[in-house]
Amino acid sequence: MDEESEKPERLDIPKKAIYRLSIYHRCLQKLKDNGQDTVSSTTLAKAAGVKPAQLRRDIGYFGQFGTRGLGYPVDGLIATIREALGREHLQPVILVGAGNLGSALLRYHGFQKEGFEVIAAFDARPDEARARTLNIPVHDVTELENFIFNNDVKLAILCVPIGFAQEVVNRLVASGIQGILNFSPIMLEVPADVTVNNVDLALELEHLGYFIR
């Protein structure tokens, strides 16, 4: 949620800018596929749905990459963003809680596409039948600690029922997990050097309720 930790430099980059970086990355990928090799802030900004000045500012946080009068090199920018987001290498991820939502996420291939690999799932009562329909091993949750340690996993997706969330998180943190994508509608308590990202589906729907009349 927050970090006043040991990371150099990077601390004064707005969190929202980090999110936009991923969006830019996707747009750049598409441009690259189309054979573009340079792009102006105006063009990229339009594709990403932001203002050109904001895009330039966001990119500026990481250095100077553009050529005045021309624009940015597509490949160069992609490399820079991958580097910034720590995505040079395939990142292993585990998923805890292979219930309805959890199994759906395992079948969802959006993660894989973006440089993450969900290498295993864990559940309190692994469902053999369901496990066979996924092509990822579903382990008993008791094996969590060993697996994380042996495979040097840093990221976890959490889909367990509310009542178990905090307990599981404590174990994840103790085993060395540094980032948690949390689908339980609950505020998790973690040390300052662990980042939690909440995805609260009901909350997003409720939020819309405010804007419809």
Partner DNA sequence: AAGTGTGAAAAGTTTCACAGCG
Partner DNA sequence: CGCTGTGAAACTTTTCACACTT
Binding footprint of a copy of itself on the chain (CB under 8 A):
1, 3, 7, 10, 18-19, 21-23, 25-26, 47-49, 84-87, 91, 93, 100-101, 103-105, 107-108, 110-111, 113-116, 154-155, 157, 178-181, 185, 187, 195, 197, 199, 201-213
DSSP state of 213: -
Angle (nearest 5°) at CA 113 between 193 and 181:
30
Separation CA 114–CA 37 (nearest Å): 21
Q: Which is nearer to a copy of itself, 70 or 104 (CB)?
A: 104
Separation CA 129–CA 90 (nearest Å): 29
| Minimal distance, residue 128 CB to a copy of itself, in Å | 18
Q: Which partner, DNA, a copy of itself, none, binds residue 42 by CB below 5 to 8 Å per kind?
A: DNA
Q: Which is nearer to a copy of itself, 118 or 144 (CB)?
A: 118
10 touches DNA by CB under 7 A: no
Q: How far apart are the first and last CA of the chain?
A: 33
Q: Which partner, a copy of itself, DNA, none, binds residue 25 by CB below 5 to 8 Å per kind?
A: a copy of itself
126 touches DNA by CB under 7 A: no
Q: Which partner, a copy of itself, DNA, none, binds residue 129 by CB below 5 to 8 Å per kind?
A: none
Q: Which is nearer to a copy of itself, 67 or 113 (CB)?
A: 113
| Minimal distance, residue 150 CB to a copy of itself, in Å | 18
- The secondary structure element, H or E, covering residue 198 is strand 195-198
Separation CA 204–CA 114 (nearest Å): 23
| Minimal distance, residue 26 CB to a copy of itself, in Å | 7
Question: In Å, how far are 10, 23, 33, 37, 49 from 78, measured between CA atoms?
Answer: 18, 11, 12, 11, 18
Q: Which is nearer to a copy of itself, 60 or 67 (CB)?
A: 60
* Residue 65 exposed, middle or buried by CB count within 10 Å (0-12, 13-18, 19+): middle
Q: With left for phi above 0 and alpha for psi between -120 and 50, is residue 9 left, alpha or beta?
A: left
What does the binding site for DNA look like in residue numbers (CB under 7 A)?
14-17, 39-42, 50-54, 56-57, 59-60, 64-72
